[in-house]
Amino acid sequence: MTERGSTTDDIRFNVPALEGRELEYMQQAVTAGHTSAGGPFSKQAAEVLQAETGAEEVLLTTSCTSALELSAMLLDLQPGDTVVVPSFTFTSSALAFAREGAKIVFCDIEPQTLGLDPAHLESLLDDSVRAVVPVHYAGVACDMEGLGKALEGRPDVAVVEDNAHGLFGRWQGRRLGHLGRFATLSFHETKNIICGEGGALLVNEGRDVDRARVLYDKGTNRRAFFLGQVDKYSWMDTGSSFGLSDLLAGYLFGQLEQREVIQAKRRTVFDRYAAMLSPHVADRGISLPVVPPDRESAYHMFYVLLPDRATRDDALQGMRSLGVQPTFHYVPLHSSVGGRKVAARAVDCPVTDDISGRLMRLPFHNNLTEAQSERVVAALLSSVPA
């Protein structure tokens, strides 16, 4: 048994993998003596991300959570302002804005992609709304067309994409992370591209770049100083210490160099699960993830929807007893203790409640083998009544 109570031949939910020169680069960062933020690996990693996403500016952060916090600071939220966030997401998507004083308006999701429901969004909009935070769940874009229509005539409402899952995904050919005023990325060890803990803020509009750099660097204009734009740097504005250590940026750059390999591996795992499970959709009442034809998945995860909560919970237990480690996702925010404290008002999110009770994430990582996938599927099928 390991300290996590599992045996060594268990099929773990996630196995973070080294895919290239990560260790070499981390060693280089240490021996070169530049391990703080803003070093050579940070520069190289940010350049790759900028080329991949088309952002005006990429600021590497210590997490997606901190990138969301930086975006919230940049919005200059005032008392009375609200931000619309899906209830079906991680706490950080809402918490970052609540910490800056906004009240949160929780929005339901639509059942196909599990992204923000534009019809519900439209019914929630009023003059207090300063931002909307779409989450591209599992790396599949939400209905950005519907979202755009709902926001027509409201140019002052900022779109902040929480793109923790969606780096390399596309909507109508456009890159996820390049659809909002800001977007955030996660490089947490459970994501496609990892460095332990890490993230990035993508700044998509030129007007935000200078201020974003100041807030990012403890409220100082140090970046402008390094660029030779001012002759000394000093305190200018609010901010915090958001920068990712160059040690971790070395890890990140090593991963980014292998991005095509990583994405291809994850696509293989996804397609394999889909092929193995599709014959059982009807007899077990299982639904598989939907990728609408105008979207390209980032292949962040593979989930199934089971007929009801009891079947899902029994299946989680049954599979764990067979040495397979699936998990659930997310506990709705609108009815959580923390969520109710920051909610602008009570809302019902019935689709969120339903999906949250029925969703199961299967073990999913770059190097999950065919034999392991077969074991996962067999464990699932034996844990769900036909």
Pick between residue 199 and residue 326 the one whose CB is nearest to ligand PLP: 199
290's CB contacts (< 8 A; 6+ apart) are: 112, 113, 140
Per CB under 6 A, 63 contacts ligand PLP:
yes
Q: Does 64 bind ligand PLP (CB under 6 A)?
A: yes
- 92 near ligand PLP, judged by CB under 6 A: yes
199, 243, 339, 357: which one binds ligand PLP (CB under 6 A): 199
Residue 90 or residue 302: which is nearer to ligand PLP going by CB? 90
Q: Rounded to whole angstroms, how far apart are CA atoms 141 and 327? A: 22
Tell me which of 53, 71, 93, 325 binds ligand PLP, using CB under 6 A. Answer: 93
Q: Which stretch binds ligand PLP (CB under 6 A): 63-71, 125-133, 144-152, 231-239?
A: 63-71
Judged by beta carbon, residue 136 or residue 375, the one nearer ligand PLP is 136
Task: Note whether 133 binds ligand PLP by CB under 6 A.
Answer: no
CA–CA distances in Å: residue 29 to residues 52, 213, 224, 226, 288: 24, 23, 24, 20, 43
End-to-end CA distance of the chain: 32
Our finding on whether 86 is near ligand PLP (CB under 6 A) is no
Rounded to whole angstroms, the Cα distance separating 232 from 275 reads 60
Measure the CA angle with vertex 29, ends 23 and 33; round to 5°: 150
User: CA 381, CA 370: separation in Å to the nearest integer?
Assistant: 16
By the rule CB under 6 A, 89 interacts with ligand PLP: yes
Type of residue numbered 237: D
Nearer to ligand PLP, 162 or 217 (CB): 162
- Is residue 200 within 8 Å of residue 182, measured between CB atoms? no
Phi, psi of 19 (to 5 degrees): -120, -10
Q: Are 26 and 251 in contact (CB under 8 A)?
A: yes
Q: Return the DSSP state at 202.
A: E
Stretch that binds ligand PLP, among 87-95, 275-283, 312-320, 344-352 (CB under 6 A): 87-95
Q: How many residues bind ligand PLP (CB under 6 A)?
A: 13
- Relative to beta strand 174-175, strand 295-296 is unpaired
- Asked if 253 is part of the footprint of ligand PLP (rule: CB under 6 A), the reply reads no
3-class DSSP assignment, residue 205 = coil
| Least distance between ligand PLP and beta carbon 307 (Å) | 25
Within 304-343, the residues that bind ligand PLP by CB under 6 A are none
Choices 88-96, 215-223, 270-278, 371-379; region in contact with ligand PLP by CB under 6 A: 88-96
Among the residues of the chain, which ranges form H helices? 22-32, 40-53, 64-74, 92-99, 118-124, 144-150, 209-216, 222-226, 246-257, 259-277, 281-284, 309-321, 337-342, 350-358, 370-383
Rule CB under 6 A: say whether 186 interacts with ligand PLP. yes
CA gap 293, 297 in Å, rounded: 10
Question: Minimum Å distance from CB 291 to ligand PLP?
Answer: 18
162 is a contact residue toward ligand PLP (CB under 6 A)? yes
When asked if residue 246 is in the footprint of ligand PLP (CB under 6 A), the reply is no
Q: Which stretch binds ligand PLP (CB under 6 A): 5-13, 15-23, 58-66, 73-81?
A: 58-66
For the CB of residue 260, give the shortest distance to ligand PLP in the complex, in Å.
23
- 192 scored as a contact of ligand PLP (CB under 6 A): no
Task: Determine which residue in the list 25, 88, 90, 168 makes contact with ligand PLP, applying CB under 6 A.
Answer: 90
Query: Is 272 near ligand PLP (CB under 6 A)?
Result: no
Give residues in contact with ligand PLP (CB under 6 A): 63-65, 89-90, 92-93, 135, 162, 164, 186, 188, 199
